[in-house]
A and B are shown apart, each in its own frame.
Chain A
Amino acid sequence: AQSVTQPDIHITVSEGASLELRCNYSYGATPYLFWYVQSPGQGLQLLLKYFSGDTLVQGIKGFEAEFKRSQSSFNLRKPSVHWSDAAEYFCAVGATDSWGKLQFGAGTQVVVTP
């Protein structure tokens, strides 16, 4: 069975500083990996995804993530955060069978301070 761990429940970062959100997964093969962001009152927005190929993935809003098979990780990074990046971030693992069910991590709440 697949599982996802986001070790950090809450992160506070200063505006302009760099941000890294951790995600570790457990899956029998190379899974599909996703990062979603959820802002208050809004639906989940896809930031980026990894299916195969280049392990460094570029996403929207200046985010990137790196797939590291040896560490079973898919950490999300942004070099310089903006106040609008304050939100809940979810890492998700997708099964590679035809159903494509997603398993979500517990989420990391990001607070951006002036």
Chain B
Amino acid sequence: GAVVSQHPSRVICKSGTSVKIECRSLDFQATTMFWYRQFPKQSLMLMATSNEGSKATYEQGVEKDKFLINHASLTLSTLTVTSAHPEDSSFYICSARRTSGETQYFGPGTRLLVL
């Protein structure tokens, strides 16, 4: 199979702090990983695309200084929400695409609550 994990699954933090979310492809190499945001009862919105060893590409309207993405290896990408505010509370989901292949495999998501 193609398993993608995320850590943590749930995080609560105070306003103004930074939170790091990890996305790992457990049994395959992923050249490309994607980060999505999902609001309650809504669809997934792509935030950014990260390729291993290069800078992430952000979708229009997504602040790159707010949402820092690092893809340092073929199995790990991290999303850091800097200076988090209550409006950043959401469900963050990552996906990974095999080095050879078109299908994305999704992690279970991380629920972020900023107080």
Q: Which chain B residues (56-93) contact chain A, with CB distance < 8 Å?
A: 57, 93
Supposing A43-B93, A43-B108 touch, asked if A101 and B46 sit within 8 A by C-beta, the answer is yes
Number of A-B contacts (CB under 8 A): 50
Determine the interface band of chain A, counting residues with CB < 8 A from chain B: 20 to 34
Asked if A90 and B43 make an inter-chain contact with CB atoms under 8 angstroms apart, the answer reads: yes
Asked if B109 and A100 make an inter-chain contact with CB atoms under 8 angstroms apart, the answer reads: no
B109 is contacted by which of A43, A99, A107 (Cβ under 8 Å)? Answer: A43
Q: Kindly state whether residue B24 has any CB partner on chain A within 8 Å.
A: no
Report how far A49 CA is from B103 CA in the complex, Å. Answer: 8
Q: Number of B interface residues at 8 Å Cβ cutoff, please give it.
A: 21
Determine the main DSSP class of A at the interface with B. strand
- Contacting residues, chain B, for A102 (C-beta < 8 A): 34, 44, 46, 95, 104
Asked if A105 and B43 make an inter-chain contact with CB atoms under 8 angstroms apart, the answer reads: yes
A43 is contacted by which of B4, B34, B57, B97 (Cβ under 8 Å)? Answer: B4
Report how far A101 CA is from B43 CA in the complex, Å. Answer: 15
Q: Which chain A residues (58-114) contact chain B, with CB distance < 8 Å?
A: 90, 94, 99-107
**B interface residues (Cβ-Cβ under 8 A, vs A):** 4, 32, 34, 42-46, 49, 57, 93, 95, 97, 102-109
**A interface residues (Cβ-Cβ under 8 A, vs B):** 32, 34, 36, 41-46, 49, 51, 90, 94, 99-107
For the complex of A and B, 3 pairs with smallest distance between CB atoms = A43-B108, A44-B106, A104-B43
13 extra A-B contacts, CB within 8 A, seeds A43-B108, A44-B93, A106-B43: A36-B106, A43-B4, A44-B44, A51-B102, A90-B43, A99-B49, A100-B32, A100-B104, A101-B46, A102-B34, A102-B95, A105-B43, A106-B42
